Structure 1
Amino acid sequence: MHCSQEKLNRLAHVARRYYLEDWKQSEIARELGVSRPLISRMLSEARELGVVKITVGLPGSDSAALLDRLRLSTTIRDGVLVEDGPDDDATNQRLSEGAVQLLRQLRSRRLGIGWGHLIGQLVTWLEAHPQPDSTVTDICPLVGNASIPARNYQSNENVRLIAQQLGAAPHFIYLPALPESVEEKQLLCSTEIYRQIQLQWAQMDTALVNIGNYPSSPDFASLVRYGDLLQQNRTCGRLLVYYFNEEGSVIQSDQDFAIQIPLDALKACPNVIGVCSANTSVRALRGALRSGIFTHLTARTDLVKAALN
């Protein structure tokens, strides 16, 4: 059954009032100016259409309930939540495995990869656990290459290694993530190299993006690109080389010269998986969820619980 986005939003509003905010059906009916039996039918329809998913979990296991809350209150459609490991490295390996599990569930074929600490951990996990039966056929980077030596930020190398472990074809971007100026960025983005990576971005069905904190390390020339805009806007998080605040607004600057997938192109991707590392903050996750960019999530159970509360 095909439903308009407006109808789905209305069903989600009714379901949120009833299941998450403990409103009575009669109270919702008064708010919307409709009958109580209509509200009852809308709740049934919400369950039939998958807007509401009722899950019975084992005592002490609340991942399913948290995912249900995410579906009702955010743009997240599904995810994998993991328990903390004995240390951050162990937790990050669990998160990496969760990201691969999501790719398998989505049957992703054309994949875009971001950068950051968790992406580096994902490479490490895949090197120990190759996935030759993966459905992924093509992989491309979502951001240019960094000038720093840290492997986590070498986009082309990470794409090459991940493609090797998934049995996919790698596609590279031979451009820096941070050129010298806006003028140099404009020049580089007029080249055939950039046009080729744009084609890859347009064909993606899944993007894998690390949700990080602000301030971040490395700093990615944020002062030159943004001046004091990040401080003025109370920035709390980062995705790729974009920054956002706790309200979910991505900070824009006329002086931003980073080379990365445009936000409109990222939002057009059918599946955008946000992956949190062991040290992603509550504020960063909360802002990322409010941005409306992400459709899927891999994160620590305790982090999601804190962000929703």
Structure 2
Amino acid sequence: MQSTPKAKDALRAAQLYYLQDMKMEVIARELGTSRSTVSRLLSHAKRTGMVSISISPSANMSALLSNQLAENYGIAAHVVPTDGQMDDAELLSRVAAHAAHLLGTIISSSMTVGVAWGSTMQAVSSALSPHPTHDTVIVQLNGAANPVTSGVRYASDILTRFGQAFTARTEQFPVPAFFDRASTREAMWQETSVRRVLKVQHEMNLAVFSLGAASSAVASQVYRGGYLSPAESRALQKMGVVGDVATVFFDKHGDSSQIEINARATGPNLDELRKVPQRFCVISGRGKLDALRGALNGGLITDLVLDEGTALRLLDG
């Protein structure tokens, strides 16, 4: 990448600020500019990946909760410090930013990363910063079309942001979220173009997703975007469904086997999902608590990012 005067100044400002612990006023004098310009240069350095910040948690509430969740569930837990006065939209923004930072440390060259779509994944993708890799593939986990919309642009925007952040090839999955009949899905799964994407999915090292839940204050896209008919929503409730991963529904035990609509869903079978070495789930807001408990009971998660309030409620049982 060709270096620009702004890039050189941003790098110099970052070196003086982070490595030599100089104050912004001193840096401004050295660079012959203003303090506000130095602030913008430092922001540019972080945004473009010149600066990577890691935090070693001390013995605070979030660290203690993370350790307790890791011990209870055998997962890597990352509890995000949050203010109890935040609404669910603010919680989502805070948790998504933390998740995006962590993904920058996890996703590396030659990986295949499956990404679901939804409100949370949209927020995470928007918070990603550049972390260039090579020979990395980002593949869509489930179809997004429904009777109201093709869903292509919505899912594509999320996939594109991941691809741009990690300089990765993207693989879209242009099929409906749910087929009208299970037999139609079975026939489509034999098509060469579909089988090619399924093969990429089977090579995943990492799956990145949230959990859908009808009760979340920030309503999950699958419940508000025309994907389910009123009759289907009632049937899911009657069967004790608590949530979904990539439009595959499960109950409080994390079991998906007796839920009829899953035979028509285009997300990965949950038994197949469990075979992915790293399953990175992002959750914010207490509305997804039942879904989270079910997913943990079903062994669907290896890495969890969640807000402090939800972590406390989860541990309280």
Shorter-chain TM-score above 0.5: yes
RMSD: 2.9
Q: Rate the CA distance shift 1:282–1:135 in 2: closer, same or farther, 3 A.
A: farther
| Structure-1 separation of matches of 2:273 and 2:122 | 21
CA deviation profile, 1:108-166 (whole Å, cap 9, x unmatched) = 4321101111111123223xxx3143578210010012234597983233212321232
Q: Contact 1:181 / 1:257 at 8 angstroms: preserved in 2?
A: yes
User: Matches of 1:62 and 1:227 in 2, distance apart?
Assistant: 39
1:264 to 271, 274, 285: 271
- Would you say 1:238 and 2:244 are equivalent positions? yes
Residue aligning to 1:146:
145
DSSP 3-state at the match of 2:292: helix
CA shift for structure 1 position 300: 0.6
Matched, 1:287 2:294: yes
Change (3 A) 1:135 1:222: farther
Matched residue, 2:186:
186
| Matched residue, 2:64 | 65
Once the two structures are TM-superposed, the CA of residue 206 in structure 1 deviates from its matched residue by 0.7
Does structure 2 retain, via aligned residues, the 8 Å contact 1:235–1:245? yes
Task: Give the match's secondary structure for 1:96.
Answer: helix
SS of residue matched to 1:79: strand
| DSSP-derived class of the 2:157 partner | helix
* Identity over aligned pairs, percent: 22
2:94 alignment partner AA: R
**How do 1:24-35 residues align onto structure 2 when only pairs under 5 Å count?**
none
Say if 2:158 is the partner of 1:158: yes
- Deviation, 1:294, is 0.3
Q: How does 1:215-254 map to 2 (within 5 A)?
A: 216-218=223-225, 220-221=227-228, 228=235, 230-250=236-256, 252-254=258-260
* Alignment check: 8 A CA contact 2:132 2:165 kept: no
CA contact (8 A) 1:97 1:122 kept: yes
Aligned length: 249
TM-score by length of 2: 0.69
Say if 1:251 and 1:232 are closer, same or farther in 2 by CA, change over 3 A.
farther
Could you say if the C-alpha distance between residues 279 and 131 of structure 1 is closer, same or farther in structure 2, counting changes exceeding 3 Å? Answer: farther
Distance 1:237 1:274 in 2: 13
Taking the aligned partners of 1:120 and 1:152, their CA distance within structure 2 comes to 14
Deviations 1:36-82 (A, max 9, x none): xxxxxxxxxxxxxxxxxxx9944xx2222222222222141343534
Structure 1 distance, partners of 2:260, 2:204, is 27
Residue of structure 1 equivalent to 2:114: 112
The TM-score with structure 1 as length reference comes to 0.70
